Amino acid sequence: RSIALVLGTRPELVKLAELIRVLGPAARVVHTGQHYDDELSGDFLAELGLPEPEYLTGVGGRPRAVQVAAALGALDELFAADPPLAVVVQGDTNAALAGALAANARDLPLVHVEAGLRSHDRAMPEEHNRVLIDRLADVLCAATPDNRALLLAEGLPEDRIAVTGNPVVEAVRDHLPPAGERARLLARHGLAADGYLLATVHRPENTDDPAALAAVLTGLADLAAELPVVLPLHPRTRARIAAAGLTGLLDGLTVLPPAGYGTFLALARHAAALVSDSGGVQEETTVLGRPLVVVRRSTERPEALADFAELVAPGPAIAAAVRRRLAEGPAGLRRLSALPSPYGDGTASDRIADLTAHLARERA
């Protein structure tokens, strides 16, 4: 019998890739199709060396409740026909919630990778997903001691929690291209190391409110007058920019299609600073030693805020925060590169594989 890994988006592929490799033939990867766009999922599978997953149909592009319900129904059929020994989910997506509920419904042991993150922002669907998944999980893989403390404070029993680190550390280690390849990539895009900014925008709080979207893009356009701003554009953000009539604000930016993982890491590694609302990027910049301006109301990753990142609202605060970082110059970059990542030492996937195998043996 297998170990099922239920996932549905780009960051889940990134963070579960090494665990899937370590589990080997026991891993059964089920993709809910939450992000069905090939630029976000298909190419990623090949690049991360992942096996072709089993796909659920009728989930992607639907409202949240329908996504969860459709994935739950389809997963229940899969698990009834061929029950796995354990189910693994990562993070806070609708796919992860559906996987957790499906495991619970069939009394299958559940492992939650990246447990104990809290933004305390109840307007974020991800916050509700996290809390629900943590309640249901039998093994809570907390990335940091602070994540563990948050779980304990909510009354979750100590013997369910392990501090494992975050698999993002090994993802960066395994997929950052070598220096020569990075240099060629920068040259192809006409970029100088430490001489450009890298930005990503995709969270609904920034894309679905035209005023916020305009404020983010205006901040980037302002900075682009000083140095190149590279923006790999998420398909949803591209659609929202067009719908809001804001395409003109992209004129001064270097707009790219969503980048492959290695390409994105290479661009991040040599950026003078990053501007992003992504969760994963908050972690990756701590491994790469680059400063990050997080454009969000709140973050569930305060570990990064101490040294690597600053939280700002959409608007003039973006350019101001970036300029403060740029003013620190090469010494600022050297300081960050010398700091350890708060997300661990690159052994999280091995630890999680051991915990999962143990759980599966207990239930076998």
Q: Which residues are catalytic?
A: 202
CA angle 176, 330, 290 (to 5 degrees): 35
Return the number of the residue (14 or 318) whose C-beta is nearest ligand UDP. Answer: 14
**Site residues for ligand UDP per CB under 6 A:** 10-11, 14, 200, 202, 232, 258-259, 261, 264, 278-281, 284
Closest separation in Å from C-beta 327 to ligand UDP: 26
Contacts of 245 (CB under 8 A, 6+ apart): none
Closest separation in Å from C-beta 362 to ligand UDP: 31
Return the number of the residue (44 or 79) whose C-beta is nearest ligand UDP. Answer: 44
DSSP 91-111: TT-HHHHHHHHHHHHTT--EE
CA angle 311, 314, 315 (to 5 degrees): 115
Closest separation in Å from C-beta 268 to ligand UDP: 7
Tell which residue, 284, 275, 289, 268, has the closest CA to residue 323.
Answer: 275
Closest separation in Å from C-beta 200 to ligand UDP: 5
Return the number of the residue (30 or 266) whose C-beta is nearest ligand UDP. Answer: 266
Return the number of the residue (134 or 284) whose C-beta is nearest ligand UDP. Answer: 284
Tell which residue, 280, 347, 354, 288, has the closest CA to residue 12.
Answer: 280
Contacts of 256 (CB under 8 A, 6+ apart): 230, 231, 232, 233
Return the number of the residue (144 or 278) whose C-beta is nearest ligand UDP. Answer: 278
Return the number of the residue (109 or 232) whose C-beta is nearest ligand UDP. Answer: 232
Closest separation in Å from C-beta 296 to ligand UDP: 10
Q: Token match 């029950």: residue?
A: 83
Closest separation in Å from C-beta 361 to ligand UDP: 31
Distances (CA, A) of 120 to 71, 124, 126, 204, 307: 26, 9, 10, 17, 21
Return the number of the residue (28 or 290) whose C-beta is nearest ligand UDP. Answer: 290
How far apart are alpha carbons 17 and 287 in whole angstroms?
Answer: 17
Distances (CA, A) of 25 to 76, 96, 173, 195, 349: 22, 22, 23, 44, 16
Burial classification of residue 330, based on how many CB atoms lie within 10 Å of its CB (0-12 exposed, 13-18 middle, 19 or more buried): exposed
Paired tokens of 51: 């096996």
Closest separation in Å from C-beta 153 to ligand UDP: 24
How far apart are alpha carbons 262 and 182 in whole angstroms?
Answer: 9
